[in-house]
Chain A
Amino acid sequence: MSRLDQISAAVLEEARMSMPRLERQPFERRAMKSGILTGLTWMVAILGSIPLFSVIYMLAIKGGARLDLEALTALPPAGFETGGGFGNAIVGTLVMVGIGGITSIPIGILAAVYLAVLGPYSKLAGISRFVAKTLTGFPSILAGVFTYAILVINFGYSALAGGVSLAVLMLPTIVLAAEEAMKQVPQRMTDAAFGIGCTRTQVIWKVVLPTGLPGILTGVMLAVAGAAGESAPLLFTALFSNYYLSGLTEPTASLSILIYNFSAMPFENQIQLAWAASLVLVLIVLVFNILARLFGRPKV
């Protein structure tokens, strides 16, 4: 081997040593760290889903065991009674959510029309949008306190008061979702409508609302689902009743308050009914959630 070859071999060797190794080594520290963190994230995600599965399992086992026609139609049992059900609470929940929906849906959609189409950059729109956003993070019990202050103090506990407190909670969700849905309507569609001489009302009724309808319905369904599961505002607006609804100005039973009351009772029968009522409540909420998804699915 010539001297020159020796030198060039040494240089090559040195170059090889100083070259970074560009391939990822499986047991390199960086790769190990990455692998461990990935494992941890998987663990966190799985741990985070355990409560859901546990809740669903308990609802199916404990609630499913007691769910029969009697539970769905009978009146709540007193202390040591066996049997009984929560028919009046199902009716009460549906009626109060209905009252909440009838009042909040039209107002919410009309307000959203203003926010999205009529005056999106006006000062009023800015303030209402901000207020609606703050109201979504508003503690639900304060809706109850408010309704107590305006209705219950003067007229007593009633289904109407319960419905009003739910409406206060539904309104911001509906406004924000409906505004978002209407903003998705392509500008060229509204422009085209204006171009053929429509008034703004005609544009809204014939173009914006029908086109944005799926999104609006999604928002409405989510608001209804949320309201159906809500209990804090009903606690001292609708109170509770052991009988079927006889009028809108009477205290009214609801599923969530029944669960709350029965969960603290020392009787096995009531606790079983609380689980069965939870199952029914979760099913009602889920139905509205699924409806929301079906409406929200983009048309192919």
Chain B
Amino acid sequence: MRSPTRSLIQATFQGRHESMASNLIKSNTAAESVSGPPSSGDYLADSVFRAIALTCAALIVLLIAYILWEIGGKAVPAMREDGLGFITGTTWNPNRDQFGVLPEIWGTLYSSLLALIIGGLFGVSIAIFLTQDFLGSRVTAVFRTIVELLAAIPSVVYGLWGIYVLIPLLRPVADWLHAHLGFIPLFGTELSGPGLAPAALVLAIMILPTVAAISVDAFRRIPYKVKEAAFGMGTTRWEAILKVMLPTASSGLLAALVLGFGRALGETMALAMLIGNSNQISLSLFAPADTLASLLASNFPEAGPVEVRALMYAAMVLLVITFLVNVVGLGIQQYTMRKFEGKK
């Protein structure tokens, strides 16, 4: 709406300016005009550049469409062949062309849920710690750096750390729990090495920064007067946090948890190194398991064409699950932002 008017104005200016400039040049050749309206070359460059920027923005949308198209297209033969049996099947045997991912779906959801419980608790507590005036600004900066560094450490390094530090540390604890509380299904098996517990713990460490960062944001969004009102009524610090701040921030915290869950679902390398890649469904924390992402990681490099199709199907399942979780998380986050923008 704005541009035609402006270009009209500019065109008028241009015409007048040019005649003025030529007059100037005629009368005094030494004086050079430094400033001038955009030349037609400038306008051409403008429209070309804008077209390029538009294309790039469209490219992002095309990219995700292309990703869906490629993975989906390559998965179609396997979908036609295995159908829903793929999701309910429990064996993965490329030699017999038997492909089922129920154990992987179970392992993905179970490990992510465990990670979410631990990582969510820690993440939200750390967010409270960082935002509710427990610390001087310098100590806050130290803890914030720690959380950011946790996020910066690559997944494989956590995997390596898990294998050589966490599993040996967990083993005596796991043995004790299995020996004394083995009748509870959670502790039903021994920790033979890699398993669900170390995988879920490392996963919890990896999602902690995500949860903490989004939760900090949620607490920051609460207007300061809300907290002042609570303190003004004589609440202790924790009464204010538990009865006022947490409920007010609840939708933002929910978004943090959902997005953290989404991150946990798709995490690959640390899990491929720690979970044991065993195709079974077990409630036990110490049993080896498998996830969709680590199935892809461990089987793709050596897969034949038939197995690749099945793996594409598995990738599609993973994509759909993470996409749904992320859309829900982003939706809640948007809703929270609008809510507080309205109240200000």
**Contacts of A281 on B, CB cut-off 8 Å?**
154, 156-157
Q: Is the CB of B330 within 8 A of A198?
A: no
- Mask: chain B, 67-109; 1 = CB below 8 Å from A; 0 = not: 1001101100000000000000000000000000000000000
- Mask: chain B, 10-41; 1 = CB below 8 Å from A; 0 = not: 10010000000000000000000000011000
A59 part of interface (Cβ distance < 8 Å)? yes
In this complex, the member of B37, B56, B63, B323 whose beta carbon has the largest number of chain A beta carbons within 10 angstroms is B56
Q: Sort chain A's interface into a size bin.
A: 35 or more
Knowing A139-B293, A145-B312, A149-B71 are in contact, say whether A34-B322 is a contact too (CB < 8 A). Answer: no
**Contacts of B327 on A, CB cut-off 8 Å?**
134
Taking the closest CB of chain B, its distance from the CB of A100, in whole angstroms, is 14
In this complex, the member of B53, B239, B300 whose beta carbon has the largest number of chain A beta carbons within 10 angstroms is B53
Q: Which residue of A lies closest to B42 (CB)?
A: A199
A155 part of interface (Cβ distance < 8 Å)? no
**Contacts of B236 on A, CB cut-off 8 Å?**
24, 30-31, 33-34
Q: Which residue of A lies closest to B208 (CB)?
A: A48
The answer for the CA separation of A4 and B213 in the assembled complex, in Å, is 67
**Contacts of B37 on A, CB cut-off 8 Å?**
197
The answer for the CA separation of A167 and B24 in the assembled complex, in Å, is 53
Q: Is the CB of A58 within 8 A of B161?
A: yes
Q: Which of A105-150 contact B (CB under 8 A)?
A: 106-108, 110-111, 113-115, 118-119, 124-125, 127-128, 130-135, 137-142, 144-146, 148-150
Knowing A51-B150, A197-B13, A197-B38 are in contact, say whether A146-B125 is a contact too (CB < 8 A). Answer: no
**Contacts of B66 on A, CB cut-off 8 Å?**
146, 150
**Contacts of B147 on A, CB cut-off 8 Å?**
48
**Contacts of A42 on B, CB cut-off 8 Å?**
129, 134
- Mask: chain A, 20-59; 1 = CB below 8 Å from B; 0 = not: 0010100000110110011011101101110110110011
Q: Which residue of B lies closest to A36 (CB)?
A: B238
Taking the closest CB of chain A, its distance from the CB of B210, in whole angstroms, is 9
A-B CB contacts (within 8 Å), total count: 263
Q: Is the CB of A236 within 8 A of B157?
A: no
**Contacts of A175 on B, CB cut-off 8 Å?**
60
B163 part of interface (Cβ distance < 8 Å)? yes
Which of A8-16, A72-80, A227-235, A241-249 contacts its partner? A227-235
Taking the closest CB of chain A, its distance from the CB of B149, in whole angstroms, is 6
Q: Is the CB of B57 within 8 A of A134?
A: no
Knowing A139-B267, A139-B293, A141-B296 are in contact, say whether A131-B165 is a contact too (CB < 8 A). Answer: no
B233 part of interface (Cβ distance < 8 Å)? no
**Contacts of A264 on B, CB cut-off 8 Å?**
273
**Contacts of B143 on A, CB cut-off 8 Å?**
45, 49
**Contacts of A142 on B, CB cut-off 8 Å?**
67, 71, 266, 315, 318-319, 322
Q: Which residue of B lies closest to A109 (CB)?
A: B56
- Mask: chain A, 140-167; 1 = CB below 8 Å from B; 0 = not: 1110111011100100000000000000
**Contacts of B43 on A, CB cut-off 8 Å?**
199
**Contacts of B262 on A, CB cut-off 8 Å?**
137
Taking the closest CB of chain B, its distance from the CB of A181, in whole angstroms, is 15
Q: Which of B37-55 contact A (CB under 8 A)?
A: 37-38, 42-43, 45-46, 49-50, 52-55
* Extra inter-chain contacts (13) besides given A118-B54, A141-B268, CB under 8 Å: A30-B239, A41-B128, A48-B208, A59-B157, A106-B56, A111-B56, A124-B57, A128-B60, A134-B323, A139-B319, A171-B63, A263-B160, A278-B160
Between A and B, 16 residue pairs with Cβ closer than 8 Å are A45-B126, A51-B161, A55-B158, A58-B165, A111-B56, A114-B54, A134-B330, A139-B266, A140-B268, A142-B322, A168-B67, A199-B45, A235-B300, A235-B301, A260-B272, A264-B273
